[in-house]
Structure 1
Amino acid sequence: MHTNTDSDDVTSFNHSSSPTSSSPQKRTVYYVQSPSRDSSSHDGDKSSTMQATPYFHSPMDSPLHSASSASRLSGVYNSALTKKGSMKSNDKGWPECKVIEEEVEYGDFYHEREGLSKRTQIFCAAIGFILIFCVFCFTIWSVSRLYKPELSVKSFTLHNFYFGEGSDLTGVATKMLTVNCSIIMTVHNPATFFGIHVSSNPVNLMYSEVTVATGELNKYFQQRKSNRTVSVNLQGSKVPLYGAGASFAGLVDNQKIPMMLIFEVRSQGNIVGKLVKSKHSLHVSCSIAIDSHNNKPINLKHSLCTYD
């Protein structure tokens, strides 16, 4: 049998593709591979491998243009392969593409995405601290409400008393009263961990619905778990009695004048600076029978006063 060699194939191809051929024949495309870079694994293929160049079917295609385009495409392809993965040659010398290996590890990527930023962490920490601090302050405030100051009016002393005729600022004639007196009371602070600021609204001595003398407790600070005795002076000068003057005159002759002592004591404890405050108020009302001719202190029993 006749064996076709490479030279015979080339000669046959040249004759069949000559312009004098009467009938068109199907053209055969040949690829020749360039020598491998790995000299140790492909020593036997060095003489028979060349760079692969595509054969152009159309006579209008320029070999130079096609070669240039192929070169550019090859450069882009090789660049892409260099970035995304690596190539290796198989046993036959043909290029074999390796599975593309991403440089980024998705586990770390998603881990970073799932994590909180520093700003978010600081914000969450601040919110947590505020919530804990609010709970702490509320607890302290709730406990402080149990420590309500205790007050007791001990005595009443009449220093000066004058009743007579007179006229008010508009010139209307009426009965006039001048009173100078004082009260003594004790204040107890049962709180074990904070002191209190004690003050009061005006302390009024009233006959019927008329205020005949008034005074005010000077504001002071009282230590924790302590008792303190305080005094309040009440004064009333030329107070017009109007319609109550007639009945008041009859009581003066009998030397017993019923009056009411009415006031309110307020306390405030600053537990956590001015952020947490403990406030209490106590309304006091005492019944007093005044002797206009007696300047001795009148002891006020606890039953004669109401504290609420």
Structure 2
Amino acid sequence: MAAPAAAMHAKSDSEVTSFDQSTPPRSPRRPLYYVQSPSNHDVEKMSYGSSPIGSPHHHNYYHCSPIHHSRESSTSRFSASLKNPRTVSAWKKIQPGQESDEDDDDQNSFVSRDKGRNVRLYFCFALLFVVLFTLFSVILWGASKSYKPEVIVEHIVIRRFDIQAGNDRTGVPTDMLSLNSTVRILYRNPATFFGVHVTSTPLELHYYQLKVASGEMKKFHQRRQSHRKVVTVVLGHQIPLYGGISVVGGAKDNIENVVIPLKLTFKMRSRAYILGKLVKSKFYTKVQCSVMLKGSKLGKPLKMTNSCTYK
């Protein structure tokens, strides 16, 4: 019984030895590494099962598979994005609740540039408006100068003229003159786009350097392209002569024979509000008329058409 057993054992050893010699030695198995993903779990199983476990090319096939490369590249990109975020949104996703100082600086610089641009635009618009308004005002002002008002003294009526003996305020005896007259003036505003406010200095009658009468003209407003006649009373009451009008001394009793040269002077001012009170224009007219007082013409109008000068 022992011999057959030994033979069987020897046979099995020889068979094993022959089998080992005919079969090439197997390389040691390398450990496998798996990267599990919820979305590609089945794909990994299929790629692993398609190659034999004992194949020497299994390890190389796994490393060269497109799935492995795509996972490795995506993983590296994600890691790089964690280390060096390139956008503000990525940084906020990585660190919620925190803001980047560089982002704040960029936003502040953008806001400051935007404000500066708006200020420049407003300044340019304001400057343009001022320039256009000034140009328009100058044009209106220049156009208004061609519409100077017309002033014409039509006539003067001396209603009363007498000389009486009297005393001045200090009690010095002298001749006293009284005169009552009215002056009619034609005023015309030829302007087509503005009215005028008219005032005047006192109307005065002089005998050389001696003032014998004066009167105030009422101020008025004259509409555009219109005219009016202004009547002003010029009075002189108890004016001491002190021998100034010597020619009258010999004609006290016969006033009709009196002839006295007088001079009427006044200055009219016309103020035009072209564009409210922002644009105004002024016109001045200086009037000087020669009046020949005749005792025989008392109460009658003396025409002044050719006796006045206007400046």
Alpha-carbon offset, residue 166 of structure 1:
1.7
Conserved 8 A contact 2:248-2:258: no
TM-score by structure 2 length?
A: 0.63
Please state whether the residue corresponding to 1:303 is helix, strand or coil.
coil
Cα RMSD of the aligned pairs, angstroms, is: 3.8
Distance in 1 separating the partners of 2:197 and 2:161? 33
Conserved 8 A contact 1:212-1:239: yes
1:278 paired residue number? 281
1:241 paired residue number? 241
What residue identity is the alignment partner of 1:298?
P
1:295 paired residue number? 298
Distance in 1 separating the partners of 2:234 and 2:278? 36
1:83-132 CA deviation, whole Å, 9 max, x = no partner?
47xxxxxxxxxxxxxxxxxx9xx9xx99x959952233222212211211
Distance in 2 separating the partners of 1:37 and 1:166? 138
From the superposition, tell whether residues 118 and 43 of structure 1 become closer, same or farther in structure 2 (CA, over 3 Å): farther
Please state whether the residue corresponding to 1:230 is helix, strand or coil.
strand
Distance in 2 separating the partners of 1:191 and 1:234? 30
TM-score by structure 1 length?
A: 0.63
From the superposition, tell whether residues 133 and 78 of structure 1 become closer, same or farther in structure 2 (CA, over 3 Å): closer
From the superposition, tell whether residues 242 and 127 of structure 1 become closer, same or farther in structure 2 (CA, over 3 Å): same
Conserved 8 A contact 1:174-1:245: no
1:177 paired residue number? 177
Please state whether the residue corresponding to 2:119 is helix, strand or coil.
helix
1:6 paired residue number? none
Conserved 8 A contact 1:260-1:288: yes
Structure 1 runs of 4+ aligned residues shifted over 3 Å read 34-40, 42-46, 76-80, 112-116, 250-254
* Structure 2 unaligned regions, length at least 5: 1-32, 44-59, 65-78, 88-102
1:53 paired residue number? none
Alpha-carbon offset, residue 283 of structure 1:
0.6
Distance in 2 separating the partners of 1:43 and 1:175? 147
Please state whether the residue corresponding to 1:212 is helix, strand or coil.
strand
Mapped pair 1:256 → 2:259: yes
Stretch deviating more after TM superposition (116-125 or 226-235): 116-125
Matches within 5 A, 1:212-223: 212-223=212-223
Please state whether the residue corresponding to 1:117 is helix, strand or coil.
helix
Distance in 2 separating the partners of 1:242 and 1:258? 18
What residue identity is the alignment partner of 1:302?
T
Bigger Rg over Cα = 2
From the superposition, tell whether residues 203 and 238 of structure 1 become closer, same or farther in structure 2 (CA, over 3 Å): same
1:237-279 CA deviation, whole Å, 9 max, x = no partner?
1111224143443576542111001111111111111111121
Distance in 1 separating the partners of 2:138 and 2:34? 84
Total equivalences in the alignment:
230
Please state whether the residue corresponding to 2:227 is helix, strand or coil.
strand
What residue identity is the alignment partner of 1:228?
R
Identity %: 33
From the superposition, tell whether residues 227 and 175 of structure 1 become closer, same or farther in structure 2 (CA, over 3 Å): same
